């Protein structure tokens, strides 16, 4: 089985209240349960980002398309990984999930 990176982008952002955070975490937990052993690393949300360009310039990496978090899952093909990604709670808030195969080196 191959490993795939799920990169979560956009969406509603972090929950503002404890109740919203708890509800969000419950959705993610239920989805990870559904995926079972294919979840190799549940990942984490990410904080502020900066982007370093090839010319050495640095830019704020924020915005709606910025990486909001990641997970690593196993699947037999990228099509299967995409099918798994379609259940992500990130999609409920208008976000997207980028699916990329991780290459062993």
Q: 13-61, pLDDT tens digit by residue? A: 677 889 988 998 999 999 999 999 999 999 998 888 888 889 998 888 7
What residue segments make up the domains of the chain, in order of their start? 2-102
What DSSP designation does 83 have? H
Helices (H), the chain: 18-35, 78-85
- What CATH number has the domain spanning 2-102? 3.30.70.1060
- Say if residue 7's pLDDT is above 60: yes
Q: What pLDDT, on the 0 to 100 scale, is given for residue 87?
A: 96
Q: What is the chain's mean pLDDT, rounded?
A: 90
Q: What pLDDT, on the 0 to 100 scale, is given for residue 13?
A: 66
Order of strands, sheet of 96-102, starting from the edge strand that comes earlier in the sequence: 39-45, 67-75, 2-9, 96-102
Residue range 21-31, pLDDT digits in tens:
899 899 999 99
């Amino acid at each position: 089985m191959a490993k795939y990176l799920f990169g979560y982008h956009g969406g509603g952002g972090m929950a503002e209240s404890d109740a919203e955070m708890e509800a969000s975490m419950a959705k993610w937990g239920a989805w990870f349960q559904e995926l079972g052993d294919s979840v190799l690393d549940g990942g984490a949300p990410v904080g502020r980002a900066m982007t370093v360009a090839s010319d050495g310039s640095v830019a704020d990496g924020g915005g709606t398309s910025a990486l909001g978090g990641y997970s690593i899952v196993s699947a037999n093909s990228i099509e299967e990984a995409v099918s798994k990604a379609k259940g992500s709670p990130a999609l409920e808030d208008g976000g997207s999930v980028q699916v990329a195969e991780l290459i062993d080196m």
